[in-house]
Structures are given as structure tokens and as C-alpha cells.
Structure 1
């Protein structure tokens, strides 16, 4: 606590120069970040294996879930670099190119997830609410082209941000994607609101409308049949998980980052508050990693083939275990 007060006092004393002294983050933040992203990587790698090797018949929904799993897995290389970054006192040791790679991967991960989650909500709306009508979202060829278009947008976006937000020197330390880069304050401010509006707010509103219409249609669904009850339960679970992901994983990061860029631009002298917001921002990265762990639940709720593949794996494992027990008993 005393060190925090001293850091705050030192930061306030540097207001004349228009900058705040950076405070080292606790190592528990990058360690938890690394653990969560690694767990998400393992879950999504398993999901990708199930899609590629255990799912013989792909639907339009399967294609969307496959691309969501890819967007969740690509951010994993960033977490070890962040651990080293914090361990070296918030100094980026990997150079300009890897800093740009980090920004590109994080951008593609954060906003690829929101885009594909939104497309999954639109697809679910088309399948359940408009089940008697034709829709492009039910066509595999169209959905495949749509996913290619999304990745093209993500690639262009990530390259633009990577070149607009280069690393910079602060004395002996090198900073990468840091609120303390004074020369990039205006760039962070503009980019943040573009990402907040088009990368979070609009996808969330579209998903909320689709799931709201879906929830309304479920009230009139005939649940006297097993199929009707199954559709209702699966859709309710998907609604819950998707809204949980948006609220728990993506909302904190966007709100905290917006607060940080506003403070840095209009209230640069509030060093103590800015340092606390910076810590909260890195904590929100852990919640983004939780998103990678929750998304596989959507695959279970949204794909019968995915559930059948996991069930077949369980059966094979049980048969192998029983066969092993029988062989042991015979040898005895």
C-alpha cells in the first residue's frame, strides 16, 4: 500500500511534464492471463479437432462455430509475451515486429470473437424463428464466403492498427500497446471509439435483438414433443451463454479502455486514477480469455454433430477401459 502511495505521489509530481510514472503490475495478472488463455487454447484445439476429424457432415452453423474456435485460439501466443513484458517492469523486449504481431493477434481475437458470435446469433434466429422460410444463413456456401469476408476485414483492421500503434521508447523502456505512449494519445482515443462502436456495441445490439426475438418465439413453441422441448432447451442455453460472454468478457474491457483513453486525453493529471484503470484494463484481459473457455459450450448447445462426436469419444474410451480391465483379470 505504501509503495502504491509513493508511486501515486511520484506520478502526480510528474504532471508538469504531462506524463505519469508507470507502475509495475502484480505478476498474478499475467500468470492468470497465461493460464486462462492456455486453457482456452486447449479447449478450442480440441473443438477444432472434433470439427475436422469427428464431424463428417458440416452445416452452416458448424462452419460458423469452426471459425469462432479459430479466432479464440489465435491469441494464445500473446500471453507468454505478456508475462515477460510484466516481469521486465512493463518494458517490451521483443522489438517492433512482434509488437505489431501482438496487436494484430489481439485485435483479430477480440473482434473476431464478437463478429462470429453475432453471426451465430443471426444463424440461430434464422434456423428457429424463420425455420419455414429460406435464408442465406442456412446455406453453407454463403456462410463460407461470409466467414472469408470477416477474416478479410479482421486482417485489414489488424494491419492498420498494428502500423498506427507502433512501439515507442520511454527512457530505457520500450512500450507496446500502452496507455502511457504520449505520442499516441489521439490515435488511441479515435481507435478506441471505432472499436467500441463497430467491434462491440453494434454486434452486441444485433445479438441482443436476435436472441430477444428468439426468446419470444420460444414461448409459443410446442414442447409436448421431444423435438420441440430439445430445440427450446438448446436455444435457451445458447441465449444464456452468448449474453454471458458479451456481458462478462467483452463489456468490461470496452468500458475500462474507453475510460482510460478519456482520462489520458482530457485528465492527464489524474495519475493515481489512471494507474488504477490501467490495472483494471489488464484484469479485463483475463475475462477476455474466459471467453475462449466459454465458447465451446456454444458448440455443445448448437451442434448435434459436436455432441455426437464427444459422446462417441466417451463410448470408445469406456470400451477401451472395459477391455483393459478384462485383459488384466484374464492375466491374473
Structure 2
């Protein structure tokens, strides 16, 4: 970063502002994100057996959100204490994990949208999709995202001070053409293409509701599918669009290109906020599950949730009693 453009004092103020923003917003996300995603995984694992309605993709999305939330305590510690005592390897891993989870969330939101759209447009063809196929698409998505996010840590150099981590790690020297190419690829493949797919699925699902031969029951299913696809599009627009708008601007501000001091300060203050906003999807996704998935809402309703815990308790007690009876029987048979 060309620190001489705005003066060292201004750069120091921006750094303090970034630490303040990151510490506050990550602290706000931590508890609700952790509870809601653990609860979502519990509901999906215990109750929902069928693979229609993109359940496999929802499970993977919840895993991506949970991994992101689990990395937040170390980030909060760093931004509050302005030091990193956990080693350079852990720093690079947490830095890498942030982008893996963000782009994995984008990928699985796309999968959910496409899956629901195909179920509505061609129900006879896609209603019998096997669980194995969804798992293969999920594994492929994790592989692509993990490979695609490698440039984020690989383009960072080892810091001169052991107390520096995350976005403050020094960048490797890049030509302007190389930097523009990398940012363009990240924008096209990581955001614009997925956004285009989600918006297309939204349009196709909405168009299917206007068909004249749509019966009442079919219309209800299509409305549920449209609600799900619209929710995916809203998460995209609210969480990921602001970040992807400021991403190329942040590269511009941190390069050696001559831009005005006011514009540079505005970009450097806006980009951390949009990055934190991208992390809010870990709290919004469980809300999407609740309001768009009947099974999820029913299992978290007041009558059924206590019953489920009571059922597990009775099963556990019955298992304990059977084990005790078997032990007594063995002791009686032993001479």
C-alpha cells in the first residue's frame, strides 16, 4: 500500500477503524451464527431423510457457515489485542478458511437454486435424483472452491512482525496486469456467474407460476420453490454484492496507482464493512431454512421440539435398561 499518499497518520487511523469494525461485527455474528447452524445441522441430520428440496446442499451450506463461525474467535482476539500469538501457519489457515467458506456458501446457494428450479420445471425427471448425485456435486464444489481460493494465501508474504495477520499481511509484488487479471477472474467466476444463475432460476421459477395449466397443489409447490430461490437471491444481493463491488476498488486503493486521498480513505473504510457483511450470511442462511422449508419450521415448532428431546431421552433410558438386564442375565448364568 502506498502509505505516502495520505500520510502515515491517516493510514494508522484507518487500521484502527478496521480493527474496531471487525471486532464488533464478528462478535455480533459469533453466538447466533454458532447456535443457529448447529441447530440446523441437528434438524437436517435427525429428521429430514429425503433428498428432494436440496437437503444435501443445505447441509453443506450449514457446514460452510459453521466453519466460518468457528474461525471467528481467533479473529476477534487478534482485532481486540492487535497481536497474533498463534503462529504464522494458523494465521494463513484462518485467512484461507475465510474465503473458502465464503465462496463455498456462494456455490451451495447456486446449487439450492438450480435444484429447486429443476424440480419445478421438470418434476418427473429430477424428483428421483439420487442422494449420491447430490453428494458428488457437493464434493466437486468443495474441491473447486478449495483450489480456487489458494491464490488468497499464496499471494501473501511472511510478515516482518509475528503480530501481523489477515488482511494486514504484505502482498507479493504483482504487475498491474496480473492483479487486474486475478481480480477479474475472481469477480466473473466467484460472483457474476453464480449471480446470473440464481437470477435466471428465480425468473424461470416465477414464470412457471404464470402457466395456465397449473393446478392448485402444483401452484403451492411452485410458490414454495419461488420463496426458496428468492431467498437465495436476497442473500446474494445483501451479503455478497457489496463485497464484490468493493473488491476491485480495494485492489485499486492498495496498488501504486495515483488516486485521490479522499477516495482511497473511503474505499479502505468501506471494504472491511462489506467483508463483514459477507460473513452475515452465516446468520441469514438458517433464517432462510426456517421460512422456506416446511420440514425445518415444523421440527422447530414448540410442540415437536420438546417431544423430540423427550423421545431421545426415552430411547436412551430404554437402551440403558436393556443393557442392565443383559448384564444381570449374564451374571446369573455365570456359575
2:138 counterpart residue number: 147
SS of alignment partner, residue 15 of structure 2? coil
Choose from 82, 86, 97 the match for 1:94. Answer: 86
2:3 aligned with 1:12, yes or no? Answer: no
1:241 counterpart residue number: 231
Relative to structure 1, the CA distance from residue 294 to residue 193 in structure 2 (aligned partners, 3 Å threshold; closer, same or farther) is same
Q: Unaligned regions of 5+ residues in structure 1, if any? A: 1-8, 322-332
- CA–CA separation in structure 1 for the residues paired with 2:199 and 2:164: 41
2:28 aligned with 1:35, yes or no? Answer: yes
Residue 119 of structure 1, CA deviation: 0.8
Is the Cα contact below 8 Å between 1:221 and 1:232 reproduced in 2?
no
- CA–CA separation in structure 2 for the residues paired with 1:263 and 1:28: 19
1:251 counterpart residue number: 241
- CA–CA separation in structure 2 for the residues paired with 1:320 and 1:144: 29
Q: Unaligned regions of 5+ residues in structure 2, if any? A: 311-335
Is the Cα contact below 8 Å between 2:202 and 2:226 reproduced in 1?
no
2:74 aligned with 1:85, yes or no? Answer: no
1:212 counterpart residue number: 203
Choose from 279, 285, 298 the match for 2:275. Answer: 285
Is the Cα contact below 8 Å between 1:71 and 1:112 reproduced in 2?
yes
Choose from 97, 101, 111 the match for 1:105. Answer: 97
- CA–CA separation in structure 2 for the residues paired with 1:222 and 1:253: 42
2:159 counterpart residue number: 168
Choose from 298, 309, 314 the match for 2:303. Answer: 314
TM-score if structure 1 supplies the norm length? 0.79
Residue deviations 1:92-135, cap 9 Å, x none? 44332122111221111110011001111110111001224x24
- Larger relative contact order (Cα-Cα within 8 Å, sequence gap ≥ 6): 1
2:40 counterpart residue number: 47
- CA–CA separation in structure 2 for the residues paired with 1:73 and 1:183: 31
2:151 aligned with 1:157, yes or no? Answer: no
Residue 189 of structure 1, CA deviation: 4.9
Alignment length, in residue pairs?
A: 304
Higher mean alpha-carbon deviation, 28-37 vs 201-210, is at 28-37
2:195 aligned with 1:201, yes or no? Answer: no
Residue 49 of structure 1, CA deviation: 0.6
SS of alignment partner, residue 75 of structure 1? helix
Is the Cα contact below 8 Å between 2:68 and 2:97 reproduced in 1?
yes
Structure (1 or 2) with the larger CA radius of gyration: 2
1:117 counterpart residue number: 109
Relative to structure 1, the CA distance from residue 154 to residue 160 in structure 2 (aligned partners, 3 Å threshold; closer, same or farther) is same
Computed over aligned residues only, the root mean square deviation of the Cα atoms, in angstroms, reads 3.3
Residue 219 of structure 1, CA deviation: 1.6
Residue deviations 1:51-107, cap 9 Å, x none? 112223343611111111111111113322332332344x54433212211122111
